[in-house]
Amino acid sequence: MNVINNSVKLDDSVVLGHFNVIEEGVLIGKNVSIGNHVTIYAGTVVGDGVRIADGAVIGKQPTPGKTSTVKLTSAMAPLELGDNVTIGSNAVLYAGAKIGHSTLVADLASVRENVVIGDECIVGRGVTVENHVKIGRRVKIQSNSYITAYTELEDFVFIAPCVTTTNDNFMGRTEERFDKIKGATVKKGARVGGASIILPGITVAEETFVAAGALVTKDTEAETVVKGLPAKFLRPVDKRELL
């Protein structure tokens, strides 16, 4: 049995599984496939050709904790999914986010409010994208990476598995932190290796290659390889590897 609000109009091309809940004002395009046990919250916009797998939670309103730095004064605008987006099983996408066309948000991933993700991106299994994040076009974020709030990933960035970005040098202990919270800016074409850590406010320059396991404590230079704890210049990026 599905519970679908009377305001929702489903085209004949929509394929719907079992035990789904679709709330008031949801807009669903043509050739959409929705699995089982999916919840789509009020007002969500689902483009043509979208696929939503079992157990996904789509367009929920955020509920910050009492001590969170995130303060909400009103409800977020509805979630928008572009054409041909794929949402994996048990993924959670919040209201106030926009997902570009042909992007994949994989199983168990989480995308918070005030997030913009461009076209043809991959947000891998178990990835967390926190609030106020901007992600460009054709960005790949591999499994279990953590993209902290106030981070920007420009076009063609590659984030390997288990990368951690950070945004608070005070770790919550002083009032001073509130106007200094800032995530990383990873510029066009940069690549960040597995299990690397990027400290708050760092700029990873265009076409930088961050070696696996590096701790990035300073801004990098364009087209360089950095490695180590802390990360230091190793060599220029091979010209054959540049975009």
Phi, psi of 241, rounded to the nearest 5 degrees? -95, -5
CB 239 within 8 A of CB 222: no
- Nearest partner of 81 among 37, 124, 111, 126, judged by Cα: 111
* Residue 94, SS3 per DSSP: strand
Domains 1-61+75-116 and 145-237 in one fold: yes
- Distance from first CA to last CA of the chain, Å, rounded? 50
Spans of the chain, pLDDT less than 50: none
User: What pLDDT does residue 70 have?
Assistant: 67
User: What pLDDT does residue 72 have?
Assistant: 73
For residues 209 and 37, what is the distance between their CA atoms, to the nearest angstrom?
41
User: What pLDDT does residue 180 have?
Assistant: 82
Q: 1-61+75-116: what fold?
A: UDP N-Acetylglucosamine Acyltransferase; domain 1 (2.160.10)
How many CB atoms are located within 10 Å of the residue 188 CB?
Answer: 16
CB 44 within 8 A of CB 29: no
pLDDT tens figures, 40-95: 999 999 999 999 999 999 999 998 777 776 667 778 999 999 999 999 999 999 99
User: What pLDDT does residue 171 have?
Assistant: 84
Q: 145-237: what fold?
A: UDP N-Acetylglucosamine Acyltransferase; domain 1 (2.160.10)
Instruction: Give the long-range contacts of residues 144-151, CB within 8 A, separation 24 or more.
Output: 147/183, 148/183, 148/184, 149/69, 149/70, 149/112, 149/181, 149/183, 150/181, 150/182, 150/183, 151/183, 151/184, 151/185, 151/186
Amino acid identity of residue 60, one-letter, is: K
Rg over CA atoms, the chain: 19
Domain positions in the chain are 1-61+75-116, 145-237
User: What pLDDT does residue 157 have?
Assistant: 98
